[in-house]
Amino acid sequence: MAAALNVGFVGLGNIGKPMALRLASQAAERGFSLGVFDIAEAPLAELKEAGASVHGSVADLARDCDVVCVMVRDDDQVRDVLGEVMGVSGDRTTVVIHSTVATGTPAQLADVAARHGVRVLDAPVSGGAMGASDGRLAILVGGEDAAFEAARPVLEAMGEKVIHAGPIGAGTMFKLARNMMHFAAFTAATEAQRLAEAAGLDLAALGDVVRYTDAITGGPGAIMYRDTTAPIARDDFWFGVFEHVVSLGEKDLTFATELADDLGVEVPLAKLALARLADGLGMPSSKDEE
């Protein structure tokens, strides 16, 4: 029987607390113990009630940990936590940075930690507090294979989709690419809302339709099945699929931007999408074939 894992969790904020609570609920079944640390008293009390041991400092928590998960606010706090871990940990400790940090930070920290025998993974998450609460997070991991395997049981307790994205830093870049699309789409949604409002439509109903149909079609992820962004050859399966996407997209974007012009609504993202949709998909524009 494998030895129990000693797991620590630092940072019990909006997403860190439900992640840690999920670990607490899974600890007995998965064969690990859980200790927690935060500067706030309320989440510590909640985790203690859930079965975790509460520690008075990062160093006290990390002393006997195999895996230390870190979900704090920013790069400086991550560095502070890692510094305390390195001061007490042995060469069996893996630190998993769930905070979203600058792209160069994970490699810098991994290099420093390696001199102290500590392994580092960058493992930001996607799925929000709801995904954290029910263990359905996507966890995007960068780091060496051995460190990933050491932390995998803990990651799989918190996330339904655990992706080893590549070497250290890859998890952070994966998260940034995912969130770039997320927030660009939010901005596009605000353009659609302004257009709908100017046209006298019900914005709440529009939001309901968007959520409903995205759940069916997959939203932007529906076009993300290829493993390259190169132009698509005409004999490629995806050519026919994306030919339809371009034709429909350019038609609807043309009508929408014309309506926006008629109503005096600025929709710069929609106009940029009309200009770049085909090229972005690796396809010729349908307008080029008219």
**Nearest one of 132, 141, 176, 139 to 15, comparing CA atoms:** 132
Mean pLDDT within 165-185? 97
Mean pLDDT within 272-278? 97
User: Would you please indicate which residues are annotated as catalytic (active-site) residues?
Assistant: 175
Range of the domain at 88: 5-167
- Res 284: pLDDT: 92
Mean pLDDT within 195-210? 98
Q: Do 27 and 139 share a domain, yes or no? A: yes
For the beta carbon of residue 242, count every other beta carbon within 10 angstroms.
Answer: 20
- Residue 1 pLDDT > 50, yes or no? no
Q: How many residues does the chain have?
A: 290
Q: Which residue, 167, 202, 219, sits at the end of a domain? A: 167
- Residue 168 pLDDT > 60, yes or no? yes
Mean pLDDT within 258-284? 97
Band of residue 4 on the pLDDT scale cut at 50, 70, 90? confident
Tens-place pLDDT, residues 68-117: 999 999 999 999 999 999 999 877 899 999 999 999 999 999 999 999 99
Q: Do 19 and 149 share a domain, yes or no? A: yes
Q: Do 45 and 178 share a domain, yes or no? A: no
Residue 37 bridge partners (DSSP):
10
DSSP one-letter string for the chain: -PPPEEEEEE--STTHHHHHHHHHHHHHHHTEEEEEE-S-HHHHHHHHHTTPEE-SSHHHHHTT-SEEEE--SSHHHHHHHHHHHHHH--TT-EEEE-S---TTHHHHHHHHHHTTT-EEEE--EESHHHHHHTT-EEEEEES-HHHHHHHHHHHHHHEEEEEEEESTTHHHHHHHHHHHHHHHHHHHHHHHHHHHHHTT--HHHHHHHHHHHHHHH-GGGGG---S--SPPPTTSHHHHHHHHHHHHHHHHHHHHHHHHHHHT---HHHHHHHHHHHHHTT---GGGG-
Tens-place pLDDT, residues 126-157: 999 999 999 999 999 999 999 999 999 999 99
Q: Do 133 and 220 share a domain, yes or no? A: no
Tens-place pLDDT, residues 24-45: 999 999 999 999 999 999 999 9
Q: Do 184 and 160 share a domain, yes or no? A: no
- Res 3: pLDDT: 64
Q: Which residue, 167, 186, 203, sits at the end of a domain? A: 167
How many domains are contained in the chain? 2
**Nearest one of 140, 137, 146, 145 to 122, comparing CA atoms:** 140
What pTM, to 2 d.p., does this model score?
Answer: 0.92
| Rounded-to-integer distance, Cα 124 and Cα 162, Å | 11
CB distance 144 to 123 below 8 Å:
no
Q: Do 110 and 94 share a domain, yes or no? A: yes
Q: Which residues of 188-216 are buried (b: 16+ CB within 10 A; e: fewer)?
A: beebbbbbbeeeeeeeeebeeeeeeeeee
Cβ-Cβ contacts under 8 Å for 206 (sequence gap 6 or more): 192, 193, 196
pLDDT-above-70 percentage for the chain: 98
Q: Do 158 and 206 share a domain, yes or no? A: no
Q: Do 267 and 159 share a domain, yes or no? A: no
